[in-house]
Structure 1
Amino acid sequence: MKNKITFYITGVIGLLGFFPLIAWSQTLPLVTTKQVGGGTSYSVPVETVLALTALSFLPAALILMTSFTRILIVFSLLRQAMGLTTMPPNIVLIGLSLFLTLFIMNPVFDSMYKNAYQPYSVGKMAFPQAIEIGSKPLKEFMLKQTRKDDLNLFVKLYGVEIEAREDVPFTVLIPAFAISEIKTGFLIGFVIFLPFLVIDFAVASILTSLGMVMVSPMMFSLPLKLIVFTLADGWVLLSTSLVQSYIN
């Protein structure tokens, strides 16, 4: 577990940082280079700076480079569609989104860990090579989930011709992926809203026909939506659909 945590931190440093500190490290007196296996050993002050920098980027990496954004948007829209404001609490939705994200991203993280971090940790691979190999599974995942229109837009704004889809840099891929995930999340949320709107309209029409115009439709529609969603096993169906949207 400790090795995997270290692996995540190292991966964030390489993928998000592209820090000049790494490029300058060969001329810094605080860095000691080992020739065995082509690895580089950093002194304690440098490792501390890199670790603290990685931790500051970790939330952004989790949100914008994984499935977390889409899942959280869908769950938040579901709560709003049901007419609930604080139930389930935000911490519950965020926690559920986090663990579903770890479930979805587990094959990607395992590939990065086995192919890049393990060889690097034993000195069989240099840090730049480990970053290059470790970023490939994550880039493939992001490219697969990114809409072509969004990717083409940011490639056009980038201003540099990119021949192959695999050559798209992370500086272009990350915003395109984030915009695509937000768009997909809102589309799924719109579909979720429809059955609850039907219930609201039906309850409002019945109350109006009975002359109960002063009674809030939410008093009757909210319990009805809760029981329908619960009996339909809505949380399981929605969670399964979100996972399958990334697997398929």
Structure 2
Amino acid sequence: MNIKKHIPNFLTLLNLFCGCIAVVFISNSKFDIAFYFVCLGIFFDFFDGFFARKFGVSGPLGVQLDSLADMVTSGVAPGFVMYIWISDIIYETYEFSILASIGFIITLGACYRLAKFNIDTRQSDSFIGLPTPANTLFIMSLPLINNKYVADFIYNEWVLIAISFLSAFVMNAEIPLFSLKIKNFSFQKYKLQIGFLSASVIMIVTLQFLAIPLIIISYVLLSVVNNILVKK
């Protein structure tokens, strides 16, 4: 029995398991614990592909499993966070809130993005549109921001609804994002990547959870600017 060929799929299932546990904590408004389980799921998601390539066992089953697992960890979880958060803000006490359910537009956007990614041959080295794990980290970090001014601004149902629509759009927008892969230590060739990653580390150390949405927003904006400069 070749154990190696099962390792990537096992890691994918661990990603799915972490997403399920995160949903349980989200239902109890424990967004901090849910965030860490989502991060763990994304960790497994990264390494399932890594080991699949390393062991040469990539296949259609792994591709389908990966998307199905991501649908929970990076689709259902962030949409559910937004639903619970908006419900808490508008003080809904009954079982279902129509307004809060708009938060699940994130889940719909992630689903479309994952399906499109599987058939898009252009995204082998870099991404077009924001990847679902990055969008998930963005959404999951918002309730954990302890900066008073930022927290007060986003603690509004209409702001959160706008963020939900925007995140679904950015995931599926035809925006080429620059690759974060650094294949050698050439500063001249990878100065954008090195500068961005260095600034990200500094922001995480100094700003904590606030750094996550700022990093992701910066990544998208820098990519847009870079695309314009490259065309010129």
State TM-score, norm by structure 1: 0.33
Q: Which has the larger radius of gyration?
A: 1
Q: Which has the higher contact order (CA 8 A, sep 6+)?
A: 1
